[in-house]
Each structure stands twice: as structure tokens, then as C-alpha cells.
Structure 1
């Protein structure tokens, strides 16, 4: 089901619903943002129905459960912000200026959204981790891989797998003392949310890096760091989103490096020397 059509689907299915389900439908249509931020228990209380009725409402809309409904609702509420290809200037100089402006706006948005207490908490979690896994799907996988490569220069206990099935496998095996760092620009990618949930269930700490502050993954995360860029239908996996993610990566890396002191400096010298030997 395409998320932008969710309102239409609810309306088309309305006559098939029970009276209790209609109460849920009415609330979702009138207060979608509140609904998005609500757990199934919250929703039941707000609509004055049982949790079973909320679940049946989701099933009537052909969702497997409440979590899948929330993800679709989040997609439905997310504005289609981004540059339509047809709107781009044809003049090379104007085009270059517009692309530069988009990059600058993405970095500025992340900078303006920084929560320094959350960053400090994330750094403290990373410093005390027995092992750190970096996760990401699609374009965010590139950010996860780049973060792994950067941190591996100063910390040996880090890991990354490009294959999504391997990521899910690793997430199911993490344990207390481990940390899962998850990149998801939209914050509503089902696999990213699943990895956060699996990691949380296994007792690992979760750091979730996203543009969407109301991500369903928040309930499974120890820290949510806002970083990314709004993407429209022609901008999925955009470089601007990854640029914002890498901005956050460099900030976390710098803070961890500072906190590690001479250990980070010595490890960086060792790993840099090995790479230098490969140069001509």
C-alpha cells in the first residue's frame, strides 16, 4: 500500500468497519500527528476502545499490525519536500549554485537540530561499548560503511555488513555491552526499525540517526540523533542526506577521538602507517 493513499484507503474502507474501528478511523483522520506519536495502548485510550479494536482497524486496512500502520501513517504525513528534476535550472552555473544551496541547507538543518546532551550520551555509549555495529540500508548503508571505516582507524571492535540479511542476522545476535548505530534518513524504513527492535530486545544500546524525529524506532533507541535531509519522490537516497549523516559521523568521531586521548592518537598512527606503506 502506498502511504500517500492512506487517507483514501481509510475512507474507502470506512463502511466495512465496526463502530469501534470507526472511532479509531475518525481519530486518525482528524489528528494524524497525535496518532503517529501514540502507542497502540495510547491509541486505544484516546479513542476509548480496546487495543483489540485498534488492531482490527489495522487489519481492515490490510496491515499486518499496528507498527506497519504507523510506518504508513508516517509516510503519509511526511511532506514531499525535494527538488523535482523538471524544476532544475538548465544553465550550468545556476544549476551548480542550486545544488550547492541544497547541500548547505542540509548541513545547516542538521547543525540547527543538534542536541548536544544527546550527542554526549551517544559518545559515552560508544566509549564503553564492547563492540559496535553500524547498520544502514540503501543510501544510508554507505554512511554506515563510511562510519565503520573511519572508526576502525581508532577502535578495533567495530563491524559492518553491506548485505541486509547479514545486518538482520547480526542484530539478532548482539547482546548487552554491544551498541547498534543505525542510519535511516527517513526514520521509517522497516528494516532499520526491525534492527533497532532486535538490538533493544537483545539488551544492546541503540543509537538511531535520522531526519525524522517521530521515528517509530525511538521507542527502541537509547539515543536518537537528528541528522539528514528532507527528500521528495525524486530525491530518495540523495547525496545531501548522506552529507548530513557524515556531518554527524565526523562530530561523533571527533568527540570519541578527544575522549580516547593518546589511545586514539596511537591507534591512528598505527593504522595510518599501514595504509601509507601501500602508497607509491
Structure 2
């Protein structure tokens, strides 16, 4: 298959000769144009590189200027510090020279004193040589005196030891005596309160035995309450007295003196007043008389020994 070409086109001629005066060789204009385009691109690229290098150079210049400024300031500060250091060094050197001078003067003075002391020591040695025998004699005498003093000291220490033992024994006996006194007081006071407690319990028991006859004794409940309260107070007073005496006994054992302690306070308790009229029936019993009649309780006389 062969392509069909127009006759006119097929027989046209193409000028391939160089185009003077712009070309010396064929295609030189095209080559120059291409080279121009390449140069344009290279110029553009070079310009861009130049701008970048210029910006970078400006930044580096600013950085270098800043570093230079800081270095100048640091150099200025360093110079100031160096001046201060040199001033301090100069003062220290002057001080050291002054101290050196003083030390040399003291050294001279010490040498003179050492020489004087050496001379005095030689003189003292000569004097002490003649006194050695006298010192030995005094030493023998001092040993004899020391032995005598030691014997006397041992005797005195023995007496002091015996005196301390006697004193301790006396102290223990005194403490035991004061504790015994307090215990006797405690037993006496507590015994009195316990007697009162037993009397109140007996009387309260008798009242409770006849409490069923409320018609004969309408105030029975009130009297029972009074006696129960009185019995509670007596019990509390017993515990209080025991506690106070125990505290004082403990204080005596810990080193206190009986004369220094306050007296144990025992409250004065009295039997409550009854709403009954009390009449003695015999030497050993009481009878309670109410408004409605007479009830015989057979109570002992001791709570009401004052009744005649």
C-alpha cells in the first residue's frame, strides 16, 4: 500500500539552503533559538538561586551580626569581670604580702622567745637537779599521807553507807506507818458508812414487807423512795471514801508525806424523815403508827435512837 500524495505537493521544492546573513549552516537559527530558550531557563534558575542565596545570605548576615553583638556584649562583661578579678587579685596580693610581713615579724619574735625560754630552761634544769632528792622525800611523805587519807575515806564511806541504809529503813518504816494510819482511817470511816448502809437496808426491807398494806400506810411508796435514795447516796459515799483513801495511800508510797495531804472529806449523811409517827415499843423494837392505825415492824432502835 503506497500513500497517495497530491501531485502539486509532491513536486514542490523545499528550500534547505542556509538563510544568510543569519545562518552560516543549515538549521543554525533553530539551534540558536533552542540555545536561547535553554539560556533563558538557566538565567531564570540562576536568578531564583541568586534570590534564595541572597535571602539566605541576609539571614546569615543578621545571625552573624546578632552573634557579633552578643559577643561584643559578652566581651564587655568579661572585660568588666576581668577588671574586678584583677582588682580582687591585687587586693589579695597586698593582703598576702601584709600577712607575710606580719608572719615574718612574729617569727622573729618567736625565735627571740624560744632563745629566752631555752636559756631559762637550762637554768631551771640546773636548779631542779639539786631539788630531786627533796622532791623524792616529799613524794614519800605524800604517799604516806595518801594511804592514811584512803583509810579514813573508806571508814567514812562505810559510815555513810550504813547511815543511808538506816535512813532508807527509817523511811520505809515511816511510809509503812503512814500507810497503816490511812488504812485504819479508811476502815474506820468505811465501817461507819457500812453500818449506816446496813441499817438503811434493814429499814427499807421492813418497809417493803408492809408495802402491801397501802390503806394502813398511804405514804409507804414515798418513804421507800426516800430510803432507796438515801441507800444509794450511802453506797456512793462508801466508794468515794475508798477511792480517796486509796489515792492517798498511793501518794504516800510514791513519796508524799501524810502531813502534806489534805484530809479525806466524808459527807455528813442523816437518815431521811419518815411520814410515820414513830413510837418505841420495847428496848429493841420500834412500832410505826399511822393515822389509820398502828403497825408493828419489829425494827431495831438504832436508826431512831434520838426518839424518846
Question: Shorter-chain-normalised TM-score: which range?
Answer: under 0.3
Q: Which has the higher contact order (CA 8 A, sep 6+)?
A: 1
Q: Which TM-score applies when normalising by structure 1?
A: 0.19
Q: Specify which structure has the higher proportion of helix.
A: 2
Q: Specify which structure has the higher proportion of strand.
A: 1
| Structure possessing the higher radius of gyration over alpha carbons | 2
